[in-house]
Amino acid sequence: MTIDVFEEPADTREEILAATYRSLRDHGYAELTIKKIGTELERSPSLIYHHYEDKDALVLACLEYLLEYFEGELSDGKIDDPPARLEEVLEWWLATDADDEWMGFVTAMVELRTQAIRDPAYREHFTRSDRVFADSIAAVIRAGIETGDFQECDPEAVAATIQTTILGTVLRRSSTDGDDWLDAVRDELGMYLRTRVYDEK
C-alpha cells in the first residue's frame, strides 16, 4: 500500500513527498539529504527548500502524509470478514517473502523510530501512528466478537499484543541477518490467536 500512495502525485508538494519516500526507502535516514531528494525529484533542491525548511521537516511531512492515507484506508467501510482482515494485517507485516522495496521501507521506519528517543516531533508522530494502528486492530477484534467469529476478549489488549509482536519482528528483521526464526514467531502468534481470539467451535 505504501507504494500506491505516491503513484500519481497531484501537485508539487506530493511530488516532493513521493521523492522523499523513495529516497528514504533507498538510502535510509542517515544518508538522506535534500540534494538526494532533489536528484530523485529531478528538480533543484531550492524548490524543496521553498516548501520545507530542512530534512526533518520534510521527513515528518512525509510520515504524516502516509499516516493520514493509512488512517483513511483503515477506517474505510464496514469490516465484513474480521478473520480475513486480521490475517491480511499479519501477512502484510510478517510475510516471509517480503521484497527488497518493502524491507527498505520497513528499515527506514525503524531508523526513524530511533529519532523519537530524543526528538519530541518524531516521538509525537510515532505515538499517534501506534495509536492509529492499534485502534484499527482493536476495531477488527470488536467486529469479530460481534459477528461471532471471535470469542469474548479484550480488544485493546489483543491489539497491543499483536502490535508489539509486529514491531519486535520488524526491528529484528531490519537489524539482523536472516529470518529463519520468523516462521516460529508466526506459529506462536497463531497459537495465541487460536487460544485467546478465534472462536473455533
pLDDT (mean) for 34-45: 90
Residue ranges of domains in the chain, CATH in brackets: 1-66 (1.10.10.60), 77-201 (1.10.357.10)
Residue 150 β-bridge partners: 198
Burial of 112 (0-12, 13-18, 19+ CB in 10 A): buried
Burial of 179 (0-12, 13-18, 19+ CB in 10 A): middle
pLDDT (mean) for 7-12: 79
C-alpha separations of 200 from 88, 114, 160, 184 in Å: 19, 40, 22, 22
What pLDDT, on the 0 to 100 scale, is given for residue 77? 67
Model pTM above 0.85: yes
pLDDT (mean) for 94-105: 82
Question: What is the amino acid identity at position 185?
Answer: V
pLDDT (mean) for 43-59: 90
